[in-house]
Amino acid sequence: MQLPDNLKYTETHEWVRREADGTVTVGITDHAQEQLGDVVFVDMPAAGRVLKKGEEAGVIESVKAAADIYAPVSGEIIDSNAALADAPEKINQAPYETWLFKIKPQDAGEVQNLLDAAGYRKVADADQH
């Protein structure tokens, strides 16, 4: 299982990358895409939407099941990845290079408190289905 050290993670299998401008970019982990199987459809939040940490942000539909994607931190959605409409399979092929949406965080503390790679590894190992 791929698990980059420079990213933060959530218990709900999102990865989070802190950008230089203070925004965060969000995707799903290698573990998550493997559990899901081939992704066929993605429904991500519109720019301008304001979400609380842990709130449902969007849905990823795979051949097997639908998976909710959650806002890892509270904030406003800046953008979501339009390329996913035509090539949802990129999430399976390159989970850490395929972003889902970007947030402008309200609270820097929430970003700090996300899991690091070691913390997420425990979550992933416990999650087998």
Partner 1 sequence: MTAALKTTALNKVHRELGARMVPFAGWDMPLHYGSQLREHERTRAVAAMFDVSHMLVLDITGDDARAFLRMLLANDVAKLDADGSALYSCMLNDDGGVLDDLIVYAVRPGFFRAVVNAGTADGDLAWMTAQRNARGYACELRPRRDLAMIAVQGPRARDLAHAACPATRVAENIARFHAAGDEALWVARTGYTGEDGYEVMLPAGDAERWWRALLAAGVTPAGLGARDTLRLEAGMNLYGQDMDVDHTPYEAGLGWTVVMDAQRDFIGKRALASREPRYDFLGILLTDKGVMRAHQTVRTARGAGELTSGGFGPTLNASIGLARVPRGVSPGDAVDVEVRDRALHAQVVRPPFVRNGRVLVHA
Residues in contact with partner 1 by CB under 8 A are: 37-38, 40-41, 43, 59, 61, 63-66, 89, 92
CB of 38 to partner 1, least distance (A): 4
Nearer to partner 1, 19 or 86 (CB): 86
CB of 124 to partner 1, least distance (A): 16
> Is the separation of the CB atoms in 76 and 104 below 8 Å?
yes
Alpha helix (H) residue ranges in 1-129: 30-36, 90-93, 108-112, 117-126
Nearer to partner 1, 38 or 116 (CB): 38
- Look-up of token digits 């609380």: 52
Nearer to partner 1, 10 or 62 (CB): 62
Nearer to partner 1, 46 or 66 (CB): 66
DSSP, collapsed to helix, strand or coil, labels residue 101 as strand
> Is the separation of the CB atoms in 45 and 51 below 8 Å?
yes
CB of 107 to partner 1, least distance (A): 28
CB of 112 to partner 1, least distance (A): 33
Q: How far apart are CA 5 and CA 61, in angstroms?
A: 27
